[in-house]
Amino acid sequence: MIPKSKRAVVQAVALLSTASWAFAQSPEMRPPERHAWADASLSPDARADMVIERMTLDEKIQLVHGMGWESIFDPPQAGPGVRALQPWAFIPGIPRLGVPDLQISDSVLGVTGSGGKSRYATAFPSAEAEASSWDLALAAETGSTIATEMRAHGLNMSLGSGVNLTREPRTGRTFEYKGEDPILVGLMVREELKAARAQGLIVGIKHYAVNDQDGGRMFVNSVLDERSMRESDLLPFEIALRNSDIGAVMCSYNKINGIYACENQHLLSDLLKKEFGFKGFVISDWGATHSTVPAALAGLDMEMPGDDFFGTALKYAVERGDIPLARLNDMVHRILRTAFASGVVDSPPQPYVVDVFRGFEAAQKVEEKGAVLLKNTDRQLPLKASTIRSIAVIGGHADAGVLSGGGSSQVSPAGDNPVPPPPITEQNILGPSESVYHRSVPLKGIAAKVPGASVKFDAGIDIASAVALARASQLAIVFAVQNASEGEDLPNLSLSDNQDALIEAVATANPHTIVVLETGGPVTMPWIGKVSAVLEAWFPGIRGSEAIANILFGDVNPSGKLPLTFPRSEADLPHPKLNRQPARAAARSVATASEPSRFVVGDVPARPGFLTNTTPFDAVYDEGLRVGYKWYDAEKKQPLFPFGFGLSYTTYAYSGLKAEPGKGLTVTFDVKNTGDRAGEETAQVYLTLPASAGEPPRRLVGWSKVALGPGEQKSVKVDVEPLFLSVFRVDRDAWEIVTGDYKVWAGPSSRELPLSATVQLSGK
């Protein structure tokens, strides 16, 4: 007889076994039959085609759209949707054929929203911080860490990295992107996503394309000539797609030259799928699908998150012959082929507890390598703990945490937001744009470095109170913040809430004032002449406090370099006022009687919370090729801080530049650490093309991140790809290297280039 104490255990096991058997017998969840396409030795294309042969029309339609807008506020209680970790980012699979569900999540700065706020994910610093490292290995480590956490959450598809250039620094999503140069952005993204892909995920990139403003994004028409588009906004996508086996590209909300991005045949089919050789599928941004027939024929493969156009309407269009069955099969083939190629079919994610310690280490490393020291008068930094008696820490909620960016890339703060925003409502489905902080407390990080000193905090709301504390302290550290969020643009580049006046007053009271900026992009600094040091920390992530303290006190030598230009004022921007011009022509309406939409404003299917501007307008990017530093060079404008700039606690010297043509261009030179401590220097190479090319004065063509001990010298080699030497000839629809003399430059930033040489290249 089984003892009573063990009887309950046996009964429980029996019940679990019965439940498992019943679960397996459910028609929907019964394990799939063994099919020929389960053979992993077959090519992904062959396996996809074999599955398609067995699919019904309804099953094909099921794979090309989301669960519907209602799932955001009314999660499904029955059917395939109950398997969804995030119903608004879910494609139900086909169990009878072994096709897995697509469990999708944003992942620009870490895994967002999976399973609700109770599921922890590492909050990484903003994308600018990663880009400021100019470190390809760090980009790969970031991608690998985030992808590993996605699998731990049970997710199998990442919406990936943002690839849009910073044409407009006031856009609310600058913090999600990696700067203003297409080569820097493209190479960093490529390494990040290759590493993510290696973890067995479907990995994507966004927002394709010319999605350079976020306010009014549903209604803006981005106007840009073809050459400028190929050499700037589209180039990082082209670079990132090379050898990365990316599975998905998200098309954006905006129009490009009058045609919506998600029904733009030139962008989706002619360039992306044919010229760039993209084998994956095109997924719409959430609510960016505007038609059935035009979008499908142009190259859109999946509508998210609803089914207004790619649900019943698509089925009817195929049955009527408006859309060939072959095109629907191609859509499904691209999705299935990507699922097989990524490994999510043969090795699906198995949820487990996230390795928080790995995430802490990776996030802190990004911040330590990506924070940029902008000013350091009289070697104010690094601080010497043994000489410090008192510190005033002022502003920026430095007693509570570090700021993060808002919107779909927002990683849920561990322990919830210490500075709570208003609750999410049906009118604000992306989350409120109010500040969200992570519980990494700068006040604690600083105090830990000087256990014998007095470290006091003032919120900075009452300037007189802050000044009194600063005057009574040996030094003052002001934390200044600039909130930024998806769905809106900043009104200007000034710090909000009277922070400029606060910094000015504190610096007047105490000449040893250090400013730590937690911003989503560049800011103006009318007080720059009065403070002794400025550290751009960006949005510093879950270990921001520890990283910032390590830099301030010299445990880490800062090595970050700006991935975008800091202007002196908005007057120096290509568009001093936000680029919103009256629409040149009425937009074409794509909704028809056969393609109904329940939410329509003008010609645009609209959703609660997505409407930040309901009047169509043009954003005319007439600066063309002159993006970022290229604009300032061409216009001979002096920026506040130039692209590529960043100080160190040591110094470097450059010498011996040589440039040799070959398949592309090989550039060599020496860099020496002339200071008394070890550091990392990002040695940058720029190129001036022949005048006949009609290019801006200089373009970045490569760089090398080199670690040097005190007094150490190393030879640096930068191999420049032929594409980076080329211009796009619209009349020939081809890239071309112009014959002539090219001036090669090398140095620590775009405006400090002590070395130069001239080399002649033959056109090809």
355-402 per-position pLDDT tens digit: 999 999 999 999 999 999 999 999 999 999 999 999 999 999 999 999
Beta-strand pair 604-605/617-620: unpaired
Mean pLDDT of 330-339: 98
Q: 440 vs 181, 239, 605, CA distance in Å?
A: 31, 35, 40
Question: Measured in whole angstroms, how far is the alpha carbon of residue 753 from the centre of its chain?
Answer: 29
Phi, psi of 160 (to 5 degrees): 80, -155
Residue type at position 604: V
- Looking at the predicted structure, is the pLDDT value of residue 600 above 90? no
**Banded model confidence at residue 348, pLDDT cuts 50, 70, 90:** very high
Q: Are 304 and 325 in contact (CB under 8 A)?
A: no
What whole-number distance in Å separates Cα of residue 677 and Cα of residue 458?
Answer: 34
CA distance 412 to 392: 30
Amino acid of residue 321 = G
- Cα torsion at 532, 537, 543, 545 (round to 10°)? 20
**Which of helix, strand or coil describes residue 463?**
helix
Asked if 750 contacts 700 with a C-beta cutoff of 8 angstroms, the reply is: yes
Give φ, ψ of 381 to 5 degrees: -110, 150
Q: Does an H or E element contain 169, and which? A: none
CATH, range 46-342: 3.20.20.300
Q: Which pLDDT does position 420 carry in this prediction?
A: 76
Those residues with Cβ within 8 angstroms of residue 24's Cβ, 6 or more apart along the chain or in another chain:
30, 31
Percent of the chain's residues with pLDDT above 90: 80
Handedness of CA 214, 218, 224, 225 (dihedral sign): positive
Strands (E), 377-490: 390-394, 402-404, 436-438, 454-458, 475-482
Range(s) within the chain of domains with CATH label 2.60.40.10: 646-761
What does each C-alpha distance from 415 to 405, 421, 450, 531 come to in angstroms? 17, 14, 27, 35
pLDDT, residue 35, reads 86
Which pLDDT band holds residue 630 (cuts at 50, 70, 90)?
very high
Residues 514 and 331: beta-carbon distance below 8 Å = no
* Chain position carrying tokens 């209602």: 70
Q: Where in the chain do CATH 3.40.50.1700 domains reside?
A: 371-564
Least confident range from 408-412, 430-434, 474-478, 612-616: namely: 430-434
pLDDT score recorded for residue 615: 82
Mean model confidence pLDDT for the chain: 90
Please count the CA atoms within 13 angstroms of the CA of 533 that sit on its side-chain side.
27
Model pLDDT, residue 116 = 54
Is the CB of residue 272 less than 8 Å from the CB of residue 282?
Answer: yes
Per-residue pLDDT reduced to its tens digit, 56-84? 999 999 999 999 888 777 777 778 878 88
Please name the residues in contact with 603: beta carbons below 8 A apart, sequence gap of 6 or more. Answer: 290, 587, 588, 589, 590, 591
Of residues 461, 453, 471, the one with CA closest to residue 512: 471
Domain with CATH 3.20.20.300 in the chain: 46-342
**pLDDT at 19 exceeding the cut of 60:** no
Give the model's pLDDT for residue 237. 97
DSSP-based three-state secondary structure for 375: strand
pLDDT at 658: 98
Cα distances (angstroms) measured from residue 539 to each of 416, 417, 626, 690: 17, 15, 27, 40
Q: Write down the H helix ranges in 90-245.
A: 127-133, 136-152, 182-197, 226-231, 235-241
Summarize pLDDT for 706-739 with one digit per residue, the tens.
Answer: 999 999 999 999 999 999 999 999 999 999 999 9
Give the tens place of pLDDT for each residue, 534-570: 999 999 999 999 999 999 999 999 999 999 999 999 9
| pLDDT confidence bin for 149, thresholds 50/70/90 | very high
283-313 pLDDT per residue, tens:
999 999 999 999 999 999 999 999 999 999 9
Q: Which amino acid is at 376?
A: N
Helices 356-370 & 544-552, crossing angle to 10 degrees?
40
Angle separating helix axes 499-509 and 463-471, nearest 10 degrees: 30
For residue 505, give Cα distances in angstroms to 377, 396, 524. 18, 16, 17
Check residue 423 and give its pLDDT: 65
Output phi, psi for 151, to 5 deg. Answer: -65, -35
Rounded-to-integer distance, Cα 548 and Cα 514, Å: 12
Q: What percent of the chain has pLDDT over 70?
A: 89
- CA-to-CA distance for 611 and 618, rounded, in angstroms? 16
* 371-564 belongs to CATH 3.30.540.10: no
pTM for the model: 0.91
CATH number of 646-761: 2.60.40.10
Section 505-523 average pLDDT? 98
Q: What is the pLDDT of residue 68?
A: 86
Report d(CA 286, CA 207) in Å as an integer.
11
Q: What is the C-alpha separation between 98 and 92, in angstroms, rounded? A: 12
The number of angstroms, rounded, from the C-alpha of 699 to the middle of its chain's C-alpha atoms is 22
- Cis previous bond, 207, omega within 30: yes
Tokens 């109770």, residue?
A: 118
Query: Closest by alpha carbon to 671, among 686, 650, 692?
Result: 650
pLDDT recorded at residue 714? 98
- Spatial neighbors of 77 by CB under 8 A, at least 6 apart, are none
596 has a pLDDT exceeding 70 = no
